Amino acid sequence: MPAIAFNLNSMKVERKAPPVGKLSINSNVNITNINMIKLNIAKEEEPALKIEFEFNTRYEKDFASILMNGDVIYIGEKKVLEKAVKDWKEKKDIDKNIKKEAMNLILARCNIAAILVAREFNLPSPIPMPRVEEKE
């Protein structure tokens, strides 16, 4: 079953000091919580997962950071969703298919948001942009 919604709930951008030397940019995603919710769809309540996450882009040497928090709503069979919540509570991990779908959506949406906000704060793009090089 699919991830049906992506919500960005907060964003913090911090520019701390001028860059010195070579700049290293690292991004990562952490799932911070998973719980069962009920969606009202067509007069019925459908079970769904709310997968909360944190997306962090760090410009190393303590130059800057972009931190985003949000959630992904994932629908599926009730048994599968209940097992995901149980696995999260016990092992802090979930089914690889649910995780793959959620992480791909998070990465796609947050990387674009990070590129846009980096431009507004005059930070280097967290993802290298293609460049045209002249051949000699």
pLDDT one-digit tens code per residue, 31-57: 999 999 998 877 788 889 999 999 999
pLDDT one-digit tens code per residue, 66-81: 999 999 999 988 899 9
**Phi and psi at residue 22, in whole multiples of 5°?**
-70, 135
| pTM given for the model | 0.87
DSSP state of 107: H
Residues in the chain: 136
Element (H, E) at 120: helix 96-120
CB 55 within 8 A of CB 103: no
